[in-house]
Structure 1
Amino acid sequence: MLKAELRKEYTQKRKALSTDEAFLLSEKIFENFINYFKPEEGEKVHIFIPILERKEIDTQLFIDYFLEQNIRVFVPKVVADTLITIEVFPDTVFETSNWGIPEPASNEDSGEDFFNYVITPLLYCDKKGNRVGYGKGFYDGFFENLSKEVKKIGVNYFNPDENIDDVWENDIPLDYLVTPTDVLSFGKGLE
């Protein structure tokens, strides 16, 4: 299927979930991530902050856990059409962007280009790790500048079913997909 078709289909599937269903599925995704990757104190995680109105995976579960375990947390922020990375702490002040995304009030880019894990938003991911997001291309540009050792991990309520037919040469596939029932690897083994 084409990205536009998948984007429409999986946006509808996500909308069909109740708020309670979305939260319970988010909890299962969180548990699968922790049990599979076993993140440790001092590691660095780049993670998106969800737009809960769009029923994105509730990553606040992850963020709270990471901060409690002294795992460093970095979040994205779009400044002048560029995705920057900001480290967050329990007392970080957030404001809502024009897109309805909670973002740190600060515009100070951390300059980090190595993370142990980058947890990535998406609407769909196929069995090869190709992802469909909202179509803005921010994450492909972000992935280009990261160390090759970074584990790029998608989180989704749904397992892959259809192949993406219009993958572009600049698209950078994920290394893993975590769903409520599975952790799928697309070729990068755990070290």
Structure 2
Amino acid sequence: MPDKETTHAETREYALSSCNTHDVVPGHGTELIQADAWTDVAPWRKAERKRLIDERLAVDAEERQAKSDRIASRLDLTIGKVSGRIVSGYWPFRGEPDLRNWAIKVIERGARIALPVVIKKGWPLEFRVWGPGDPLERGVWNILVPSHGPSVQPDVVIAPVVGFDQANYRLGYGGGFFDRTLAAMPKRPFVVGVGYSNSRIQTIYPQPHDIPMDVIVTDE
């Protein structure tokens, strides 16, 4: 942490400017953070990311699937008609909601599903069309991605969240891929964050590079 940090037993307080002395770190109560200082926000996000991932991995697999099914049903209401549209999904990773069955049903209803592929660190994601039976390979973080296939611009982007706040800002894995991708797209898609309801936090302390989701869909 920066040298602004002062430790008193188990309570940590961060130096604050006078304009944000009431910003309380969600989930920790006694911890305060300067909302406009990336040197403070970055390590806080790292710790919060670990906490939230550990929490969701501790949930029984059957319960996670039940939550995923509830998210899927709410996605149908949120997105509406899918026929003729390209919907970007994802291959689940580290306890994320598993929406693969939902994606297959979306294909059956006339849409195309695309999966995000990391091409290179610091680059926007590429979206490749995928369908059941299409070959997959291990990509970054060992996530399965389409081996080949046309690169497309999705109409709807489904973005899994590690955490999210009331302003629809997404806490991801720290690589900045989704923000970079959305900023580079010639036409903004409808962006839907998906996650478990207990991943809600007060704020992620959004920075200039952060782009909010249009809506967040949870199991509640």
Short-chain TM bin: 0.7 to 0.9
Q: CA RMSD in A?
A: 1.7
1:98-113 matches, cutoff 5 A:
98-106=140-148, 110=151, 112-113=152-153
> Are 2:182 and 2:188, in contact at CA under 8 Å, matched by a contact in 1?
no
Equivalenced residue count is 175
Q: Structure 1: any 5+ residue segments left out of the alignment?
A: 182-191
Q: Tell which structure's C-alpha radius of gyration is larger.
A: 2
Q: 2:88 is matched with which residue? A: 46
Identity %: 27
Distance in structure 2 (CA, Å) of the matches to 1:39 and 1:135: 32
Cα deviation for residue 15 of structure 1 reads 1.4
1:77 aligns with 2:78: no
Pick aligned residue for 1:116 from 155, 163, 167: 155
Cα deviation for residue 66 of structure 1 reads 1.3
* 1:59-100: CA deviation from partner (whole Å, max 9, x where unpaired): 202211111112111111112333211111233101222512
Cα deviation for residue 25 of structure 1 reads 0.3
When structure 1 is superposed on structure 2, of 93-102 and 12-21 the one drifting more is 93-102
Structure with the larger RCO, 1 or 2 (CA within 8 Å, 6+ apart) = 1
Q: 2:15 is matched with which residue? A: none
Pick aligned residue for 1:155 from 194, 197, 204: 194
Q: Which amino acid aligns with 1:79?
A: I
Q: Structure 2: any 5+ residue segments left out of the alignment?
A: 1-24, 26-43
* 1:101-125: CA deviation from partner (whole Å, max 9, x where unpaired): 011112x551x33x33100021001
SS of structure 2 residue aligned to 1:64 = helix
Q: 1:185 is matched with which residue? A: none
> Are 2:118 and 2:140, in contact at CA under 8 Å, matched by a contact in 1?
no
> Are 2:161 and 2:171, in contact at CA under 8 Å, matched by a contact in 1?
yes
Q: 2:38 is matched with which residue? A: none
> Are 1:124 and 1:158, in contact at CA under 8 Å, matched by a contact in 2?
no
SS of structure 1 residue aligned to 2:128 = strand
Distance in structure 2 (CA, Å) of the matches to 1:151 and 1:37: 8
When structure 1 is superposed on structure 2, of 62-71 and 35-44 the one drifting more is 35-44
1:143 aligns with 2:149: no
| TM-score, normalised via structure 1 length | 0.84
Q: Which amino acid aligns with 2:112?
A: R
Divergent runs of 4+, >4 A: none
Q: 2:217 is matched with which residue? A: 178
> Are 1:67 and 1:90, in contact at CA under 8 Å, matched by a contact in 2?
no
Distance in structure 2 (CA, Å) of the matches to 1:129 and 1:48: 19
> Are 1:84 and 1:109, in contact at CA under 8 Å, matched by a contact in 2?
no
Distance in structure 2 (CA, Å) of the matches to 1:39 and 1:65: 12
> Are 2:118 and 2:126, in contact at CA under 8 Å, matched by a contact in 1?
yes
Q: Which amino acid aligns with 1:129?
A: N
Q: 1:61 is matched with which residue? A: 101
Q: Which amino acid aligns with 1:11?
A: I
Q: 2:207 is matched with which residue? A: 168
